[in-house]
Amino acid sequence: MEIYSVGNKLRIGLFGKSHAESIGCYIDGLPLGMEIDADGIARAMDLRRPKGGIGTPRREKDEVILEEGVIDGKVAGRVLIRIMNRNKDSSAYDGFNVTPRPGHADLPALIKFEGFEVAGGAQFSGRMTAPLVAAGAIAQQYLAAKGIRIAAYSKQIADVIDTEERTFEEMEASRSRKTRAADDALDARMEEAILKASADGDSVGGIVGCMAIGLPIGFGGIWFDALDVSVARMMFSIPAVKGVEFGKGFGLASMRGSESNDQYAVKDGRISALSNNMGGVCGGMSDGMPLTFSVAFKPTPSISKPQRTVNLREMRDDTVEIKGRHDPCIVPRAAAVVEAMAAIAIMDQDLSFQSDQ
């Protein structure tokens, strides 16, 4: 069984495939005796679940089994999280072994790995993020005890853009909405954009905004282990992510230093910045401001409109029509994944580089 691993002191090992018996992950490095709130894990899983008409019709219960390493609700060693794949239908994928789907991993994987079977997207499926959300929920519990909280929301879906500077509380409240937009009017417009694309046999992309609060000044590693490096690595590991920016990100390129620098002041005896253009990170460490970043997701590659592809058996041009069960937009579900992956990165940074460890 292949295991894909990441992390320094908190090590995550991801395994399984979309249509295997199960998927899951190992978590090494959780503090022994740490209490695990199973309801908190279930709540996080619920936020990743597809909603109404705007998510994939593949419905999975996603019951998280803490198979090893947890005794009486407390961490007793390496934790093994397993989630069964119950709702599998590989028939819709057979053809993609011959006519790979544009935008998905089919073509490179079929060329690279002998005997590769596309079924459900295999290890490239968005479903692989389910155990990561469970692991992230545990990391969020660890961080919450230290006053560090993380929330993500839909900042943009298709051409519907939330232009407001959102507070942490607004982002957190957006979790209960269908698209995770931060208010009702945007939620409705984002949902409409997704449904319209879906009705056209098409898909849309968008941007997830994320904020972590409670990081003290100096939090994080430096250079290759920097806070932003570590968060960006986890973000780019999420399938369909094509861009990550911290603070004003690419917008900084057209600013002057006098506009972009976050100047400092002392307020109530504490050092604070007067703006947050850098997204809370300087020199790879927290500058004490909220860590804010945006993650761009491409439109879901599997669309039902006919598309040009190649026929690998006959080595000729061909077309492909996709009939499987797919999300017309990944963004609303992906916000839960962004939160989880950020939590894993930040917990690893905490265990690895904070002096009280």
The dihedrals phi and psi of 86, each to the nearest 5 degrees, come to -105, -35
In terms of Cα–Cα distance, which of 134, 32, 37 is closest to 82?
134
Q: Which of 229, 240, 295, 331 binds ligand FMN (CB under 6 A)?
A: 240
Using CB under 6 A, which residues numbered 281 to 310 contact ligand FMN?
Answer: 298, 300-302
Q: 163 and 156 in contact (C-beta within 8 Å)?
A: no
Structural contact between residues 314 and 186, judged by C-beta atoms closer than 8 angstroms: no
Q: How far apart are the first and last CA of the chain?
A: 33
Candidate segments 123-131, 156-164, 254-262, 264-272, binder of ligand FMN by CB under 6 A:
123-131
User: How far is the CA of 347 from the CAs of 223, 267, 279, 351, in angstroms?
Assistant: 18, 28, 18, 6
Q: Where are any strands of DSSP class E within 232-350?
A: 241-246, 264-267, 270-273, 281-282, 285-286, 291-297, 307-311, 316-320
Please say which residue, 81 or 337, places its beta carbon nearer to ligand FMN.
337
Query: Which of 14, 27, 56, 212 forms a contact with ligand FMN (CB under 6 A)?
Result: 56
Q: Which of 65, 60, 37 is nearest to 49 (CA)?
A: 60
**What minimum distance in Å lies between the beta carbon of 328 and ligand FMN?**
8
Sign of CA dihedral 46, 327, 178, 168: positive
Per-residue contact flags (x/-) with ligand FMN for residues 5 to 44, judged by CB under 6 A: ----------------------------------------
Q: Are 15 and 24 within 8 A, CB to CB?
A: yes
Segment interacting with ligand FMN, rule: CB under 6 A, options 27-35, 169-177, 250-258, 327-335: 327-335
Of 23, 25, 105, 281, the one binding ligand FMN by CB under 6 A: 105
The conformation of residue 259, written as its DSSP 8-state character, comes to H
Cα dihedral: 60, 61, 66, 72 (round 10): 170
- Cα torsion 63, 65, 70, 72 to 10°: value is 60
Residue 48 C-beta: closest distance to ligand FMN, Å:
7
Query: Which one of the spans 226-234, 244-252, 285-293, 323-331 is the region binding ligand FMN (CB under 6 A)?
Result: 323-331
Which of residues 25, 83, 158, 330 is near ligand FMN by CB under 6 A? Answer: 330
Query: Does residue number 239 form part of the binding site for ligand FMN (CB under 6 A)?
Result: yes
Which residue's beta carbon is nearest to the bound ligand FMN?
A: 126
Residue 277 within binding range of ligand FMN, rule CB under 6 A: no
Chain-centre distance for alpha carbon 274: 30
Closer to ligand FMN by Cβ: residue 6 or 330: 330
Under the criterion CB under 6 A, does residue 153 sit at the interface with ligand FMN? no
Interface pick for ligand FMN out of 17, 104, 149, 248 (rule CB under 6 A): 104
- Pick left, alpha or beta for residue 262 (phi over 0 → left; psi -120 to 50 → alpha; otherwise beta): beta
Could you tell me which residues come within 8 angstroms of residue 114 by beta carbon, excluding any fewer than 6 positions away?
none
Our finding on whether 337 is near ligand FMN (CB under 6 A) is yes
Q: How far apart are CA 50 and CA 332, in angstroms?
A: 8
Which one, 126 or 284, has the nearer CB to ligand FMN?
126
Using the minimum distance from each CB to ligand FMN, give the nearer residue, 79 or 335: 335
Query: Is there binding between residue 136 and ligand FMN (CB under 6 A)?
Result: no
Tell me the per-residue interface mask from 180 to 219 with ligand FMN, x by CB under 6 A, - otherwise. Answer: ----------------------------------------
**Residue ranges of the alpha helices (H) in the chain?**
38-48, 106-112, 129-144, 168-173, 184-199, 227-236, 257-260, 331-353
The span of 119-127, 152-160, 174-182, 215-223 binding ligand FMN (CB under 6 A) equals 119-127
The binder of ligand FMN chosen from 226, 295, 333, 350 (CB under 6 A): 333
Q: Which is nearer to ligand FMN, 104 or 149 (by Cβ)?
A: 104
Query: Could you list the residues that contact ligand FMN (CB under 6 A)?
Result: 56, 104-105, 121, 124-126, 129, 238-240, 298, 300-302, 326-327, 330, 333-334, 337
